[in-house]
Amino acid sequence: MMRRRAFLTLLPAGLAAVDGTAYAQTAPELLAEIGRRLESPAVLRGEFEQTKTIKGFKRPLVSKGSFVMAAGKGVQWVTAQPFASTVVVTRERLLTLGESGASRQIDTRQEPGLKAVNEMLMALLAGDVKALAERFQAEGALQGAQDWRLALKPRDAGLAGFIMRIELEGSRHVDSVNLHEASGDASRIRFFNHAASSLSPAEAGRFGP
């Protein structure tokens, strides 16, 4: 349980409860339309702000930094505040790099639940709506010509052990993620300044061969 909570704390995110928006039952056509609205560059970078509310603590934890998502490789979170750290997430591992150079790695192939969370996280940023629909029961709504919303509940018990519900909003990219954890913690990730890009040599090296 401590490992699960520590991992989810590393995610840029924070959350609020459902705001009263009515979600219509998702049909394949709606998911397909959301997929068409999303842009999926090979490398997407931007900034994030996470507000995380931990059960039993009065004050939320706020962190800020940047992210880079490479299709087929994974996501790197570079936190600048409140302290510097880098988290590299792939389908096979989770690597944390501290400011002093110290590192810690978890092999997610030996942690099925953690592996599922990693895959979910990469699908979220990549806008892979089809992959999300395979793991989650989804409801959603289109808003205007570009905007959309989705609410997701895990289909399998393993993933439900981490996450109760996820709410997403966006247009051409995912703009915010509200994450309700099974532990009672809650997180909200706000993404901004999205830009298609390429990986630097240092970023490519963190993903490994």
- Residue 39, domain CATH: 2.50.20.10
pLDDT, tens only, 50-61:
999 998 888 999
- Which domain does 139 fall in, by range? 2-191
In a domain, 85, yes or no: yes
Burial of 101 (C-beta count, 10 Å sphere; 0-12/13-18/19+)? exposed
In a domain, 208, yes or no: no
In a domain, 207, yes or no: no
In a domain, 113, yes or no: yes
Q: Average pLDDT of 121-150? A: 83
Say if residue 16's pLDDT is above 60.
no
In a domain, 68, yes or no: yes
In a domain, 148, yes or no: yes
Say if residue 11's pLDDT is above 70.
no
In a domain, 204, yes or no: no
Say if residue 161's pLDDT is above 60.
yes
Quote the number of domains for the chain. Answer: 1
How far is it, in rounded angstroms, from Cα 9 to Cα 95?
14
pLDDT, tens only, 65-115:
999 999 888 889 999 999 898 988 888 888 888 776 667 888 777 766 666
Residue pair 141/121 in contact (Cβ under 8 Å)? The answer is no
In a domain, 200, yes or no: no
Say if residue 24's pLDDT is above 70.
no
